[in-house]
Structure 1
Amino acid sequence: MMIARATGLVAIPDELAAVEAAPLLCAGLATFNALRKSGARAGDLVAIQGIGGLGHLAVQYAKRMGFKVVAIGRGSDKAAHALVLGAHHYIDAKVDDPVALLQQFGRAQVILTTITDSAAVSPLMAALAPQGRLVIVGVGREPLTILPSALVGGERSVQGTITGTPYESEKTLDFSVMADVRAQVETMPLERAWDAYQRVKSGDVKFRMVLTMDDQSIAQ
């Protein structure tokens, strides 16, 4: 049993199972809200940096919102997956320069970064279009290093965003049902929470871990 404020509760659509809804109320809400508030319009070039638990949902949302989507990851093994999720282009940051390629594509109106490596995030300011926006979802421990000229010259901006309200949570779920956006998850029973935590720390989870009230482990 639990007691909760009525104003903090969220109605979950019948079309979503609890395991499907759970990650959408965390990673889904964070990325969906970030894109909604980014100022990007249908047809704009939008780049998603990091194709993990947050990024794999951000790519799906961006595609469904009508953006031209560029996914930026590390490693060629993520290329096919990013394209299946909806990206129009994939940049392997281990091989190519994301800034140079985004400039070739015409510069991004929005770059949504989901990673915590500030050193990899900061250079992307140079890949933004005039009045473009760098939207931060990943929380790194090191400061961003951005020259004032990168902001002033093209009236560019940096914006942070984090999750949202119960109302925005319901908007996220409704859009996810309508546009068929789902997180890719693994599940473990609550009794194995420590094992699940260790697996998350290892980086092997693709892409979210959900604890369940049963004794079955499912990989999807």
Structure 2
Amino acid sequence: MKAAVVRAFREPLVIEDRPDPAPGPGQVLIAVEASGLCHTDIHAAHGGYAEKMLAWADFARPVPDGVDPRDAAPLTCAGVTTYKALKVGGVRPAQLVAISGVGGLGHLAVQYAKIAGATVAAIDVTDEKLALARSLGADILVNAATEDPAEVLRAHGGAHIGLALAVNEAAFGALNAGLRRGGRLVMVAMPAGGTIKVPIFETVLGGTAVLGSIVGTRQDLDEVFRLHAAGRTRVIRETRPLESVNDSIAQVLAGDVRARIVFTF
């Protein structure tokens, strides 16, 4: 099988021919049709992709009819991750949900928040990403390059839920500062620095909460697939061959990708 292999950390990935992996007890061999490029992949070793992979049979989920494999790739990562994060935040109709970072995760988060009946504030640093958020239903657009997101959110009464998807520590702080009394900051992205400052007085007096959320359950994924098969969500993606993996990683790190890159095999 063809694979993009990590020979050394932070070195370019190498395309190699590798033997097909052999499943052990309780495992299944999966032929990969499409695989999305996620920031977590880059954190792991600047990549790990192949035409086939092993999975535990108890946790493997079939892609249902009506869902394109090239859409399923982002849905099983960005989709289920943001869907679960909104559940963690306890989103309810008519609440204000602030989504910081409109990209591979954020463009799906906007749609799930709208499905839940929320008012959505989309925060990013480029007009192109904000225009994408608007086309997907965002109600309030905040350009963090020219506006203070916390001030804008407070002008709207403050966010009930802040979804931190931008890989930037300062964005986490701005989102936290824009919460209303009792608001919840849900941390999803993992900036390289790995630390944010949480003001004690404002957190205590405002009764706000800081929560973490990672990926989702098999039930969450089933719901994500059902919503997509029903035409409730759109996946904004660009398909590329596996050989483009190193250039694609560089573009993701530079923030030059509109939403999601999907490698096809």
TM-score (norm 1): 0.89
- Percent identity between matched residues is 38
Counterpart pick for 1:185 among 203, 213, 237: 237
Segments of 5+ residues of structure 1 without an aligned counterpart are 214-220
1:70 aligns with one of 112, 116, 121: 121
Report the counterpart of residue 161 of structure 2 in structure 1.
110
Q: Deviations over 1:56-87 (max 9, x none)?
A: 11111111111000001113333322211110
C-alpha separation in 2, matches of 1:95 and 1:197 = 27
Q: CA deviation at 1:137?
A: 0.7
Residue 127 of structure 1, CA deviation? 1.7
Paired residue for 1:136, among 179, 187, 190? 187
How far the C-alpha of 1:107 sits from its partner, in A, is: 0.9
Residue correspondence of structure 1 range 152-163 to structure 2 within 5 A: 152-163=204-215
What SS class does the counterpart of residue 37 from structure 1 fall into?
Answer: helix
C-alpha separation between the residues in 1 aligned to 2:137 and 2:112?
Answer: 9
Q: State how far apart, in whole Å, the 2-side matches of 1:185 and 1:4 are.
A: 25
Please say which of residues 55-64 and 203-212 is displaced more in the overlay.
Answer: 203-212
Query: Mapping of 1:1-220 within 5 angstroms?
Result: 2=29, 3-142=54-193, 143-178=195-230, 180-213=232-265
- Count of residue pairs brought into register by the alignment: 213
- Looking at secondary structure, tell me which structure has more strand per residue: 2
Does the residue aligned with 1:153 lie in a helix, a strand or coil?
helix
State the superposition RMSD in angstroms.
Answer: 1.7
> Aligned partners of 1:36 and 1:175: how far apart in 2?
15
Q: Distance in 2 between matches of 1:172 and 1:79?
A: 23
Letter in 1 for 2:235: A
Displacement of 1:201: 3.6
Q: 1:15 to 1:108 in 2, by over 3 A?
A: same
Considering fraction of residues, name the structure with more helix.
1
Q: CA deviation at 1:55?
A: 0.9
Question: Runs of 5+ in structure 2 lacking a partner?
Answer: 1-19, 21-28, 30-53
Q: Partners in 2 of 1:23 and 1:124 — Cα distance?
A: 25
- Structure 2 counterpart of 1:100, which letter? E
Alpha-carbon deviation of 1:195? 4.0
Report the 3-state secondary structure (helix = DSSP H, G, I; strand = E; otherwise coil) of the residue aligned with 1:87: coil
Distance 2:264 2:245 in 1: 9
Counterpart of 1:40, as a letter, is V
Cα offset, 1:38, TM superposition: 0.9
- TM-score normalized with structure 2 length: 0.75
The secondary structure found in structure 2 opposite 1:4 is strand
Q: Any runs of at least 4 consecutive aligned residues in structure 1 with deviations exceeding 6 A, and if so which?
A: none
Deviation of the 1:166 alpha carbon = 2.4
